[in-house]
Homo-oligomer: A and B are copies of this chain.
Amino acid sequence: MQFIDFDKTDAYRLLTEHTLNKFDFRVKLDAERVGRCRIPMAAGLTYSWAAKAVDDKTLKLLQALSDEQELIAKYRALLSGEVMNTGENRRVLHHLLRGGHGQPVIENKRDIGEFYRGELDRLCEFASSVHSGKYKGSTGKPFTTVIQIGIGGSDLGPRALYLALENWAAAEGKKKLTAKFISNVDPDDASAVIASCELEQSLFILVSKSGTTQETLANELFVRDKLITAGLDASKHMIAVTSETSPLAHNTNYLDSFYIDDYVGGRYSSSSAVGGCVLSLAFGPEVFREFLAGAAEADALALQPDINKNAALLDALIGVWERNFQKYPCTAVLPYSQALSRFPAHLQQLDMESNGKRVNRNGVPLSYSTGPVVFGESGTNGQHSFYQLLHQGTDIIPLQFIGFSESQRGDDVTVDGSVSQTKLAANLAAQIAAFAKGQDNADLNKEFHGGRPSSLIFGKRLTPQVLGSLLAHYENKVMFQGFVWNINSFDQEGVQLGKVLTKKVLAGSPADSALEAYSKIFGI
């Protein structure tokens, strides 16, 4: 297995040459192409790339790129526990949280998968004990609210997933507890969330892998003060999710603790206790297990070397095609599902924190572009917001649509001969066609140039299994892109400097006169 910078590959040269050969998908996009250019995904989803500027030749070159950069071999190596997080000298094992490769990963005679499965079993049992009433608040009342305290990967993924399933669970009679989240060090965040809760009936989940996250520790103390002031036993109202080596581990301040390790990065931790505790408490452990099963199914499909059978791989490669050869610096994620309203915010972290790198996995500067800017909002809301620029702006932004034929709650109304869910889907179909094909008009202010590429992931209904499959699809996509670019998608050294300077400011010793001047602005 070789690790080569992307611009040193034959594929890079051939793809560069191929950019001269313009494929105009505006005129080629017809029913035949829509029917042909799609790949089955896990949990019944389908990936459609018909409205991408990709022809047979492009596909062939992308397959060659995948083969030359050994993307599947690298994925297999990662699954087997090789140290793929080179900078931090760590394995990358989030797939193992949901099954992995099927082969054990052993370290110092310890089976890491067994550890992960053990923690999963423990958290499921804990959630059941809360639901059965075995665990209650310190005044004897049952818990009705669970509040996650965490930031970044301990917040965005779990929050997005909770929102994604809240209405499904309500419709299926599976909603057990309401979840809330405290993340920001802005004290208004914690203060407002706490003011909205019955503390007597609230269970807090403190999530920090290192046990040293500034925001999370400040918010823990904030909450603890409120619990004590309310006359409650704080240790009966808080559990911890952390690593076994953190200062929070094995601590009687918590009702119970669940462990993760350094092989699960924050932005990949939704499949661990970081997402598992809050989702199991909110919806029941079986719902979280269904979610994991959907993710595992997607992980297995991602092993397929043929890009025509591997949606995560093809999605990744088309993204590279658009980023490095069509030179598009951004991409928008547009789920036509209110349940996925915060899914773009999670993908923004997943993608930009993983692949926003300017050196290769060995620390050598790169001369090609890596991860794009990712943004998005749910449709149809976005149509009435930033779609103007997407349709008629001076730049082209590749789009990633997601949609379902059924709603989650099944509660709908017929207006003008159609239900809202049909209107939602009709809008989605119309947007894909409008972006791709455009429309001529003698008044150029009303002309749509078209040629704006999009992909579509579609399914029947957003269930826990479908959600797991969707999450894993994007995780694997981002991983494959990192392999193409020969970067380390699993560290985040770019967040360190800000932390260091913040500490200096708070210690009263800012590093330089500008920092001191900015600090004084805020009276520090």
Contacts and interface: CB of A to CB of B under 8 A. Distances in A.
Nearest to A420: B187
A140 interface: no
Q: How large is the interface on A (under 10, 10 to 19, 20 to 34, 35 or more residues)?
A: 35 or more
Interface stretch (A62-70, A103-111, A504-512): A504-512
Contacts of A417: 506
A498 B184 contact: no
A387 to B, nearest CB: 6
A94 interface: no
Given A373-B330, A448-B494, A515 B429 contact: yes
Interface stretch (A124-132, A239-247, A313-321, A331-339): A331-339
Most buried by B among A155, A373, A421, A514: A514
A426 B266 CA distance: 23
A472 to B, nearest CB: 20
B185 A423 contact: yes
Given A35-B517, A215-B384, A363-B444, 14 more contacts: A48-B521, A186-B378, A191-B411, A214-B423, A218-B415, A221-B413, A329-B395, A352-B389, A356-B388, A371-B393, A387-B495, A426-B506, A430-B502, A458-B521
Interface in A381-416: 381, 383-395, 397, 403-405, 407-409, 411-413, 415-416
* 7 interchain residue pairs of minimum CB distance: A356-B389, A152-B384, A425-B522, A430-B501, A356-B393, A392-B494, A34-B517
Nearest to A156: B385
Interface stretch (A197-205, A282-290, A304-312, A431-439): A431-439
A475 interface: no
A352 B388 contact: yes
Interface centre among A266, A409, A491 (most CB of B within 10 A): A409
Contacts of A499: 430
Given A419-B187, A516-B31, A497 B393 contact: no
B458 A522 contact: yes
A422 interface: yes
A407 to B, nearest CB: 5
A18 interface: no
B522 A415 contact: no
Contacts of A373: 330, 373, 375, 386, 389, 395, 397
Contacts of A115: none
A166 interface: yes
8 contacts: A185-B380, A185-B420, A215-B380, A345-B385, A352-B385, A352-B386, A434-B501, A445-B488
A84 interface: no
Contacts of A380: 151, 184-186, 215
A24 to B, nearest CB: 14
A497 B446 CA distance: 9
B381 A155 contact: yes
B386 A496 contact: no
A269 to B, nearest CB: 12
